[in-house]
A and B are shown apart, each in its own frame.
Chain A
């Protein structure tokens, strides 16, 4: 029998969104945070460049400009009411963090300093604006540490190294979750009135990625398997400047500080693609530009397979003060000193714009309108949608703070008056079956081999450039890999710290989510933001200015199928225009 715990609110994930939610919820109702890592290991800590808010500390700015930039950056797939809330609440979100103790970099006057970032402009696109609040190039690290420190102050309860593998529902309402305890292999049932998924993204469907090994989309996968929809999964962001060959992130803040992208002719090629803001164009445009340069033979290196990020004209003291970590990454992993030599870079899979659909209070949706009582999502796992077809840099650290807070408030409010929903019979049964099947499998397939083939196929067929043909190939590959996944055999049969079986479980989520991404992408016959179809290179507002809603369905024989539906975009004051920078 599993251990059964009872809380008003369960938060799954202890990154920025989860801990920000916990700070609100734990003040009001009995709350626990479940994380498969330790809180300070979450990938929020890897974010570098900053968090935008129109503080206007160093030059004129206002939240309306920030709203507009977010909507235009998202190629008009952003829900405009949500973007407005985010840009407005950004200011308090930054000030709240400062009051919690976050060590922001400062102006000479002692205020929070701000710098330029991609797609953030003054007065609707006139020029780049200094809007990103930052702490050197460790802004995410400081946010994660500060939120954890506040959780310690408030005695927030954590269950570390607990993997949530199922969402319990009864009569369409949330009843709790099932978690696998890493150290013992025991299953735990957490009965809860509200459950918040803040489990991050699923970058590990790709081979070249800035994402941690742990970013396997478990939360989205759990929700998906319970028949709930996922929104806009075809929109996946490739960050232009990963360390070539490794995918390790080099912040856009490097270009905000004056860094320049160059091809093998030494040309500042972004001048051709975005004449006004050049290297500070949004990420989707810069990533496509880099791909194009390399395809047309202007790549650098012996195999002409990357471009370079030139920081050599920036004084060494400025690099050391403003960008110390990326300077070190370049030295450590490539042996290249950015103060004297340009750094090889290439796009790297970075961020899921899509995810669990929510309203502006982080309440998860079961269709285009109706909420799932007791279910919430925030951060990269969620799709509000404030990022639309392409997220602007820094808006993810903002998203986790604004909507993490809203999720915590809404989940606690609901739990304060709601009753516990009865647990279903044999609540841990499905997870027990899943884990036992993997432990007892005899088919001989290896997790690592299937995962490597998945990642290669996704890089080849579903990344920056896509066509119907490549996506169809990805579908074929995925079907075969899913078939082989049934024959996975793990070698570790034990209960104690069995990371072997958990990697196999995670691979199952990756395969599911990759398929949703590919099927959603194949149906979107247009190019918008991070989704670029070479066979349909134009944006098509008549047919596709709408969100994709994907549903998992089972036919009468129990075979899985993906059904696609669509949801209108919320437009308040900005009509779609051509997206030029």
Chain B
């Protein structure tokens, strides 16, 4: 399952309903230290959209037609590249995977940068601490045994064991939804633990013990308070809290 929380499976396509243009208001939290801002502030942008448009479409429309200074990251525009995680109506989501019709269109839609990473400008944060935590868990296959000439064999069952955590796109929606990460920037955060899980439970990998040692650190998995914010925030539907629990269990038993 890769459904996001707000996209019910069963809504039937309403014929023509997506074609009704209407105006919605995006309330965007803006910040530009270069222009002398010391604090972020909220600004309203009325924008004409189709209800089936994505929040990213609305942001693009504002940037291209109203205010070119509005600044955010984006690339693929369909939930694969992980560039446009932001806080929309108080919840972390990808702007390109959030349809306007799935939000309350009659109230202002709030859009702000993800929390817990240094705010640089408007919706852009410094991603470096996030990627550093990912790099710290040795996110690559570690093998010591002899390399076969053909592929390594892996049963379908073993492949399924870590399928969920291979889906991560490193968008940071989970890590920046985590209250522990907000108060303790040293915590690895859910995304890095997901990255570790992907290898710890890969039958071909022989680096589990060194990764578990890293995650056993005081800033490692034990800081997780199981609040499920990460799981709710994940645009790829990864069962993150469960993955973290599996890593904790592996630490206790030292068996994967």
Q: Which A residues are in CB contact (< 8 Å) with B82?
A: 40-41
- CB-nearest residue of chain B to A185: B34
Minimum Cβ distance to chain B for residue A214 (Å): 5
A45 near B76 (CB under 8 angstroms)? yes
Q: Is the interface of B mostly helix, strand, loop or mixed?
A: loop
Tell me if B135 counts as interface (CB < 8 A to partner A).
yes
Size of chain A's interface in residues, with CB distance under 8 A? 68
What are 30 A-B residue pairs whose CB atoms fall within 8 Å in the complex? A41-B82, A41-B83, A42-B81, A45-B81, A94-B151, A99-B152, A100-B140, A101-B205, A104-B151, A108-B156, A110-B153, A111-B150, A149-B139, A149-B140, A183-B120, A212-B77, A213-B76, A325-B2, A325-B80, A328-B2, A329-B78, A329-B79, A332-B7, A333-B52, A335-B13, A337-B9, A494-B35, A494-B69, A498-B71, A499-B71
Minimum Cβ distance to chain B for residue A449 (Å): 8
- Interchain CA distance A370-B52 in the complex, whole Å: 52
- Interchain CA distance A452-B140 in the complex, whole Å: 42
Tell me if B74 counts as interface (CB < 8 A to partner A).
yes
- CB-nearest residue of chain B to A138: B167
* A193-221 with Cβ < 8 A to chain B: 212-214
B34 near A495 (CB under 8 angstroms)? yes
A496 near B152 (CB under 8 angstroms)? no
- CB-nearest residue of chain B to A243: B78
Encoded as 1 (CB less than 8 Å from any A CB) or 0, chain B from 1 to 12 comes to 111100101111
A106 near B15 (CB under 8 angstroms)? no
List 17 additional contacts besides A213-B76, A331-B3; criterion CB under 8 Å. Answer: A45-B169, A46-B78, A98-B151, A98-B152, A99-B141, A99-B152, A103-B163, A103-B166, A108-B156, A183-B120, A332-B79, A336-B13, A448-B64, A452-B64, A491-B67, A494-B69, A496-B120
Encoded as 1 (CB less than 8 Å from any B CB) or 0, chain A from 68 to 102 comes to 00000000000000000000000000110011110
- Interchain CA distance A38-B124 in the complex, whole Å: 13
Residue ranges of B at the interface with A (Cβ–Cβ < 8 Å): 1-4, 7, 9-13, 15-16, 32-35, 52, 60, 63-65, 67-69, 71-72, 74-83, 97, 99, 120-122, 124, 127, 131, 135, 138-141, 147, 150-156, 159, 162-163, 166-170, 199, 202, 204-205
A37-B75, A41-B82, A141-B169 as given contacts; A331 in contact with B151, CB under 8 Å: no
Q: Which A residues are in CB contact (< 8 Å) with B52?
A: 333, 335
Q: Which A residues are in CB contact (< 8 Å) with B124?
A: 497
- Interchain CA distance A276-B228 in the complex, whole Å: 52
In the complex, the number of residue pairs spanning A and B with C-beta atoms less than 8 Å apart equals 168
Q: Which 4 A-B pairs have the closest CB atoms?
A: A448-B64, A101-B141, A491-B68, A110-B153
- Pick the residue among A100, A149, A491 that contacts B69 (CB under 8 A): A491
B35 near A328 (CB under 8 angstroms)? no
- Interchain CA distance A449-B64 in the complex, whole Å: 8
Q: Which B residues are in CB contact (< 8 Å) with A106?
A: 154-156, 159
- Pick the residue among B78, B121, B141, B151 that contacts A112 (CB under 8 A): B151
Looking at A38, A212, A214, A335, the one whose CB has the most chain B CB atoms below 10 A away is A335
- Pick the residue among A141, A152, A324, A448 that contacts B80 (CB under 8 A): A141
A496 near B83 (CB under 8 angstroms)? no
Residue ranges of A at the interface with B (Cβ–Cβ < 8 Å): 37-38, 40-43, 45-46, 94-95, 98-101, 103-112, 135-136, 138, 141-142, 145, 149-150, 152-153, 183, 212-214, 248, 302, 320, 324-325, 328-329, 331-337, 446-449, 451-452, 490-492, 494-500
- Interchain CA distance A107-B2 in the complex, whole Å: 23
B202 near A101 (CB under 8 angstroms)? yes
- CB-nearest residue of chain A to B134: A152
Minimum Cβ distance to chain B for residue A427 (Å): 26
- Interchain CA distance A149-B79 in the complex, whole Å: 21
- Interchain CA distance A150-B135 in the complex, whole Å: 11
- Pick the residue among A43, A320, A328, A495 that contacts B81 (CB under 8 A): A43
A494 near B2 (CB under 8 angstroms)? no
Q: Which A residues are in CB contact (< 8 Å) with B67?
A: 491
- Pick the residue among A108, A324, A492 that contacts B68 (CB under 8 A): A492
B155 near A110 (CB under 8 angstroms)? yes
- Interchain CA distance A332-B5 in the complex, whole Å: 11
A103-B159, A109-B153 as given contacts; A212 in contact with B81, CB under 8 Å: yes
- CB-nearest residue of chain B to A327: B2
Q: Which B residues are in CB contact (< 8 Å) with A497?
A: 71, 120-122, 124
- CB-nearest residue of chain B to A324: B2
- Interchain CA distance A325-B32 in the complex, whole Å: 37
- CB-nearest residue of chain A to B123: A497
- CB-nearest residue of chain B to A150: B140
Minimum Cβ distance to chain A for residue B158 (Å): 8
Looking at A95, A107, A451, A499, the one whose CB has the most chain B CB atoms below 10 A away is A499
- CB-nearest residue of chain A to B127: A38
- CB-nearest residue of chain A to B159: A106
Q: Which A residues are in CB contact (< 8 Å) with B34?
A: 494-496
A213 near B64 (CB under 8 angstroms)? no
A40-B170, A212-B81 as given contacts; A494 in contact with B32, CB under 8 Å: yes
Q: Which A residues are in CB contact (< 8 Å) with B79?
A: 329, 332
A332 near B81 (CB under 8 angstroms)? no
Q: Which A residues are in CB contact (< 8 Å) with B78?
A: 46, 248, 329, 333
- CB-nearest residue of chain B to A36: B75
Q: Which B residues are in CB contact (< 8 Å) with A135?
A: 166
Q: Which B residues are in CB contact (< 8 Å) with A449?
A: 64
A496 near B32 (CB under 8 angstroms)? yes
